[in-house]
Amino acid sequence: QVQLVESGGGLVQPGGSLRLSCAASGIIFSMYDMGWYRQTPGQKRELVAAVTSGGSTDYADSVKGRFTISRDNALNTVYLQMNSLKPEDTAVYYCNAHKVLVTIIPAEYNYWGQGAQVTVSS
């Protein structure tokens, strides 16, 4: 079965750094677009950063210049390096793997990690 296992969450002070990791199994990792989403109570889950199978990246405006997404296909792992953290970055962060198969019968594949708590507080 498909598994996305996240690690690296925790408590950090404002201005600090944290790196999240997401190790995937059960998929051909290099063929998937990977992303990080975050969610707080009462809020919709929002896209933080994404990296396509081709290596293109995209970021939410709120994290541009502070967060960096990267992937290591040899390790089937996607990372989110978070620098200059702010209290408003506090959320549960979810790893996502996504692929759309364009063929005679289109198919979509979408998988989620278990979530990692990131708390930015003094």
pLDDT value at residue 86: 98
> Are 66 and 17 a contacting pair, CB within 8 Å?
no
pLDDT per residue as tens digits for the range 99-115: 998 888 899 999 999 99
Q: Using DSSP, state whether 82 is helix, strand or coil.
A: strand
Q: How confident is the model at residue 12 (pLDDT cuts 50, 70, 90)?
A: very high
pLDDT per residue as tens digits for the range 66-79: 999 999 999 999 99
Query: 55: which DSSP letter?
Result: S
- Closest alpha carbon to 20 in 116, 120, 119: 116
Report CA 122 to chain centroid distance, whole Å.
Answer: 24
